[in-house]
Structure 1
């Protein structure tokens, strides 16, 4: 996980620890730290904050994909507007998780999506197999 906000980082780490089938293998505060300390073997999913100090989350996804094409990366963001979602997918994100009070709903969707990753039909919002959690947003879906 790459998240610069210490409170959000701690909350997400604790939240993910509640799921017995998951193991958080690395938590860093910047894109640069993620590149320096990337776990080997690669994790099943990298959660990346969109707005990081220094290198952005989108640029980090591009760099990670240069090193490991196809590595699943989900963008964490407080921005629900459609153009942010599209920018994240254009950068190579395979998912977009909107931060907020409905994280549990999104996480359940994420678990399902990861389980179904090899047969992307059930969650894909595009032909490229990306996922987003439109049913869990407050207000109208950005999709």
Structure 2
């Protein structure tokens, strides 16, 4: 079982994510955080393998948390799950040390696949995000 910590400031989102992960049968939700300061404490106390992290929460920003946790807990795999689909967020999250990036529009099956891939050392981006990044790179190439 993969140990997962869910970090999102909306209780209904946390409940839904927990339900999806428990139904999948291969994840153990070891904690839930509603703000940035809780994330740091729970990562230390619960020792998750994967942190499912929203970028927009009270307290510390998601990007700041990724940077802090990369230094403090290098084995922790971080999968961003957010409403932000803009390229600058995606790039910043990966530069900070995230292992994957999904938007909240993703299907439950994609979430399960993404956590599984990230937990086993892989990197994950949805097809929609990969398309955005590829288009952006092509646009930069055309400008050069």
RMSD: 2.2
Where do 1:4-43 residues align within 5 Å?
4-40=9-45, 42-43=47-48
Q: How many residues align?
A: 128
CA distance in 2, matches of 1:54, 1:141: 32
Q: Report the secondary structure of 1:50's partner residue.
A: coil
- Per-residue CA deviations over 1:90-136 (Å, capped at 9, x if unaligned) read 11111101101x3224224315514652xx4xxxxxxxxx32112xx
In 1, Cα distance between equivalents of 2:108 and 2:50:
17
Higher RCO (CA < 8 A, seq sep 6+):
2
Change over 3 Å in CA distance of 1:41–1:13 after alignment to 2? closer
Instruction: Give the alignment's TM-score, normalised by structure 2.
Output: 0.77
Higher Rg of the two aligned structures: 2
| Shift of residue 7, structure 1, vs aligned partner | 1.4
The answer for unaligned runs of 5 or more in structure 2 is: 1-5, 134-144
5+ long unaligned stretches in structure 1:
121-129
Find the partner of 2:124 among 128, 131, 143. Answer: 131
The answer to whether the aligner puts 1:87 opposite 2:92 as a matched pair is yes
Relative distance call for 1:39 and 1:24 in structure 2 (3 A) is: farther
